[in-house]
Amino acid sequence: MASQLDSLRKLSLVVADTGDIDAVARWKPQDATTNPSLVLASAENPRSRQLVGEAVERAHGDAHAAAEWLFVLFGAEILKHIPGRVSTEVDARLSFDEEGSVRKARRFAALYEEMGIGRERVLIKLAATWEGIQAAQRLEREGIHCNMTLLFSFAQAVACAEAGVTLISPFVGRIYDWHKQARKVEDIPLAEDPGVASVVRIYNYYKKHGYKTQVMGASFRKTGQILALAGCDLLTIAPDLLEKLSASEAPVERKLSVEEAKKQSIQKIHLDEKAFRWEHNQDAMATDKLAEGIRRFDADARKLEKLVASLAAVAAPAK
Ligand code: E4P
């Protein structure tokens, strides 16, 4: 009997959501996604000392440059174990800075190129703010492909599709977390899960209107949420949930398809900047979660810089 993971692989492209290189090697996904929190967790593992040391060395002791290198070195290491692409996230501090985001993305692309890794194997992750989306539109024209993250509202998804980005990562678990907390409940059944419903709505909208932007469900809390989206273009899954899916042989049914989406009556909408900001702001969950997500990724990026700075200080020659 096939495991649920094997069955799911026939319906969606399975991606590993981790900075843990051993986990990537074990699960052999097509693609992998990282974020500052995942890279921090891996960098803190003593097994990553060599990689952190290499980042410091390549940056000649400059802590800021070393942190940049660290993201790229983790990405490059991950790419040794997968045939597809790795996602590397732009500093959350640039979430409201279009120019700064473009510069940082180009810098990541250049560092990857320095390591012999082409743009086709990298997705630059940017927060799906208005500025992030505009930056992504420009980057895509330069052949730097983008993965829009911290995506919670339908308005964010519409704007990303209109910008022609390669891929979006609508978050399921963080939407579920917000609603659980708001309703003061321990769980929300799958049939009513607002995180799952958000991805279903976005997927159907994209497919109905023929947008080329791919949908990658992200941020899962339980396997049921993943299986409820079987058929989505891509699903990025943390190692603990990959483990659970591989341990079960229960059947997996397709839940999303282009054919079914096409049959639906869904109105196409256009959002300019004002309409985007208004529509996004109408969604209390999305405004809370986007703001919190930026703060959390920023906090972890700062911790990572401190970790690298402490090592850079050790590595720097005494004056
Ligand atoms: C992946 O791209 C996301 O960064 C990740 O799925 C977020 O997951 P979390 O909500 O568990 O942090």
- pLDDT tens digits, one per residue of 278-310: 999 999 999 999 999 999 999 999 999 999 888
Closest atom of ligand 1 to 35 CA is 4
Q: Whose CA is nearest to atom 7 of ligand 1?
A: 219
Q: Which residues pair with 236 in a beta bridge?
A: 15
Cα gap 90→97, rounded to integer Å:
11
Is residue 317 predicted with pLDDT exceeding 60?
no
Is 180 one of the annotated active-site residues of the chain? Answer: no
pTM: 0.96
* Mean pLDDT of all residues in 244-254: 98
Query: What pLDDT score does 310 carry?
Result: 86
Which H helix or E strand runs over 56? Answer: helix 49-58
**φ/ψ of residue 263, rounded to 5:** -75, -20
Q: Which residues contact 313 (CB under 8 A, 6 or more apart)?
A: 63
pLDDT tens by residue, 3-46: 999 999 999 999 999 999 999 999 999 999 999 999 999 999 99
Catalytic residue among 10, 28, 104, 125: 125
Whether the CB of 169 sits within 6 Å of ligand 1: yes
Whether the CB of 17 sits within 6 Å of ligand 1: yes
Whether the CB of 95 sits within 6 Å of ligand 1: no
Cα gap 146→165, rounded to integer Å:
6
Expressed in angstroms and rounded, the spacing between residue 207 Cα and the centre of ligand 1 is: 24
Expressed in angstroms and rounded, the spacing between residue 298 Cα and the centre of ligand 1 is: 14
Give the strand pairing for 122-127 and 31-33.
unpaired
Average pLDDT of every residue of the chain: 96
pLDDT tens by residue, 137-164: 999 999 999 999 999 999 999 999 999 9
Whether the CB of 35 sits within 6 Å of ligand 1: yes
Whether the CB of 173 sits within 6 Å of ligand 1: yes
Query: What pLDDT score does 286 carry?
Result: 98
For ligand 1, pick from 74, 216, 219, 220 the residue to mutate: most ligand atoms within 8 Å of CB: 219
**φ/ψ of residue 95, rounded to 5:** -60, -25
Question: Which stretch, 62-71, 291-300, 307-316, has highest mean pLDDT?
Answer: 291-300
Q: Whose CA is nearest to atom 12 of ligand 1?
A: 219
Query: What pLDDT score does 316 carry?
Result: 57
Q: Whose CA is nearest to atom 4 of ligand 1?
A: 35
Q: How far is CA 293 from CA 155, 158, 190, 256, in A?
A: 17, 20, 23, 27
Closest atom of ligand 1 to 221 CA is 11
Is residue 188 predicted with pLDDT exceeding 80?
yes
Expressed in angstroms and rounded, the spacing between residue 317 Cα and the centre of ligand 1 is: 38
CB count within 10 Å of CB 155 equals 23
Q: Name the DSSP letter for residue 192.
A: G
Cα gap 74→34, rounded to integer Å:
9
Band (315; pLDDT cuts 50, 70, 90): low
Q: Whose CA is nearest to atom 10 of ligand 1?
A: 219
Expressed in angstroms and rounded, the spacing between residue 213 Cα and the centre of ligand 1 is: 19
Q: Which residues pair with 17 in a beta bridge?
A: 33
Q: Whose CA is nearest to atom 1 of ligand 1?
A: 218
Cα gap 176→192, rounded to integer Å:
10
What percentage of the chain has pLDDT greater than the value 90? 93
CB count within 10 Å of CB 214 equals 17
pLDDT tens by residue, 118-136: 999 999 999 999 999 999 9
